[in-house]
């Protein structure tokens, strides 16, 4: 990263039983003001890592450094880190203003300063008219904004969000994704967001850290994660993918040969060996009865299933003995039907070769 490192994790590890790692040898740098999402399936180590940063879990080994200060053994209440949970954790007997002001009262700030900060934070989360309401008088989205405000009001060095939108319905969750991103931009607070939802990670993040079995598989901007996954696991976990296996020979490093003899051009010369070529379904075009451009990769696809979604159509079939999915924008031509054989083509630069040793 061009920016200086603000949060630094080095060799961070956690085991609850002394033998099975929940997090293993994690190295990660985050810049001041970044929005980084920890993404992965249940049990991948993302929440455990978040809890170690917060101080609620003690690392088995490794170091946590924030703003140049070693926080590894610092108690949670001395870290100046805010945290927002999925269940909101609001005090039901307190008003919105009292809930938001609670961290400031614990720090024994003057009442005038508390009132000023609470009012400013209410404006930041668009809840200025809700100060005297109780949590039970609020919708789920409003309660989540109160929890977000409470995590921001004391000017934390870092804000951690642990699947905060998991309890909301789809439409409200999408609205809150944009709301949290807006608040991040306005507040400039460094944020780490934990989720298993791909769309949240892709929508909100400056960078996405993909976790698997306690290890960090890849960290990169969302589009790089999508277009250039570092492993098959990342390619499968984020979005829909096709994986075509083949071999690269020493004499032809820019070609992959499949088991049926089909040859596919690669985006760049590859090391010899067994690889899998990943292509996203929307990167593939169908050409029925048309000449295939010489520079494109192509295969013959036997169409087996057609699924129409309205704005797009998913075509599922087999090519070179492998299952292939093609997503076509708009209306599918009438001459493409189940049981028909068509040419599928793609620009080699839109494919990603993955060496077999990267797969787990």
pLDDT tens per residue across span 184-201: 999 999 999 999 999 899
8 Å CB contact between 35 and 191:
yes
- The arithmetic mean of pLDDT across residues 160-189, rounded, is 90
Domains and CATH numbers, the chain: 5-235 (3.40.50.300), 244-358 (2.40.50.140)
What's the confidence (pLDDT) of residue 65?
Answer: 97
- The arithmetic mean of pLDDT across residues 209-227, rounded, is 96
Give tens-digit pLDDT for 278-312.
Answer: 999 999 999 877 777 788 999 999 999 999 998 89
What's the confidence (pLDDT) of residue 16?
Answer: 94
Q: Does pLDDT of 67 surpass 50?
A: yes
Predicted structure pTM score: 0.91
Query: Residue 38 and residue 353: Cα distance in Å, rounded?
Result: 25
Q: pLDDT class for 358, splitting at 50, 70, 90?
A: very low
List the structure tokens of 317. 């079939």
Q: Does pLDDT of 337 surpass 80?
A: yes
What's the confidence (pLDDT) of residue 14?
Answer: 97
In 3D space, the residue among 147, 195, 134, 141 whose CA is nearest the CA of residue 168 turns out to be 141
What's the confidence (pLDDT) of residue 18?
Answer: 86
8 Å CB contact between 133 and 95:
yes
Positive or negative, the CA dihedral 102, 106, 110, 111 is positive
What's the confidence (pLDDT) of residue 3?
Answer: 60
- The arithmetic mean of pLDDT across residues 3-28, rounded, is 94
**Average of per-residue pLDDT values in the chain:** 93
Q: Does pLDDT of 275 surpass 80?
A: yes
Lowest average pLDDT, out of 181-185, 238-242, 331-335, goes to: 331-335
What's the confidence (pLDDT) of residue 360?
Answer: 44
- The arithmetic mean of pLDDT across residues 26-52, rounded, is 96
Which DSSP category does 164 fall into?
A: T
- The arithmetic mean of pLDDT across residues 223-240, rounded, is 94
Lowest average pLDDT, out of 229-233, 315-319, 354-358, goes to: 354-358
What's the confidence (pLDDT) of residue 290?
Answer: 73
Q: Does pLDDT of 209 surpass 90?
A: yes
279 alpha-carbon distance from chain centroid: 19
- 48, burial (CB in 10 Å: exposed 0-12, middle 13-18, buried 19+): buried
Percent of all residues in the chain with a pLDDT value above 90, rounded to a whole number: 85
8 Å CB contact between 147 and 153:
no
């Amino acid at each position: 990263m061009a920016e200086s490192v603000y949060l630094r994790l080095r060799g961070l590890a956690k085991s609850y039983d002394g033998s099975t790692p929940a997090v293993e040898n994690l190295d990660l740098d985050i810049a001041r003001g970044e929005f980084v999402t920890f993404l992965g399936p249940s049990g991948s180590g993302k929440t455990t890592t978040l809890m170690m940063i917060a101080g609620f879990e003690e690392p088995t080994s490794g170091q946590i450094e924030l703003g140049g200060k070693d926080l590894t053994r610092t108690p949670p209440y001395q870290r100046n880190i805010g945290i927002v949970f999925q269940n909101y954790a609001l005090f039901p007997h307190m008003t919105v203003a009292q809930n938001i002001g609670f961290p400031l009262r614990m720090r024994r700030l003057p009442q005038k300063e508390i009132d000023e900060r609470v009012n400013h934070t209410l404006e930041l989360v668009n809840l200025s008219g809700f100060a005297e309401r109780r949590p039970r008088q609020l919708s789920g989205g409003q309660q989540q904004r109160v929890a977000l405000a409470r995590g921001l009001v004391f000017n934390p060095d870092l804000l951690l969000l642990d699947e905060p939108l998991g309890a909301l319905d789809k439409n409200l969750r999408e609205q809150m994704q944009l709301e949290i991103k807006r608040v991040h931009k306005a507040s400039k607070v460094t944020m780490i967001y934990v989720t298993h939802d791909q769309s949240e990670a892709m929508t909100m993040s400056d960078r996405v850290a993909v976790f698997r079995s306690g290890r960090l598989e890849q960290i990169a901007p969302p589009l790089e994660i999508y277009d250039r996954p570092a492993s098959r696991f990342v390619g499968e976990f984020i979005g829909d993918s096709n994986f075509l296996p083949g071999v690269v020979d020493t004499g032809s490093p820019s070609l992959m040969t499949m088991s049926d003899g089909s040859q596919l051009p690669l985006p760049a010369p590859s090391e010899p060996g067994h690889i899998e070529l990943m292509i996203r379904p929307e990167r593939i075009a169908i050409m029925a009865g048309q000449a295939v451009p010489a520079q494109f990769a192509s295969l013959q696809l036997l169409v087996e299933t057609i699924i129409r979604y309205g704005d797009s159509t998913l075509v599922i079939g087999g090519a070179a003995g492998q299952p292939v999915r093609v997503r076509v924008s708009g209306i599918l031509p009438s001459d493409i039907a189940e049981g028909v054989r068509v040419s599928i083509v793609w620009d080699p630069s839109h494919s990603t070769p993955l060496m077999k040793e990267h797969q787990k």
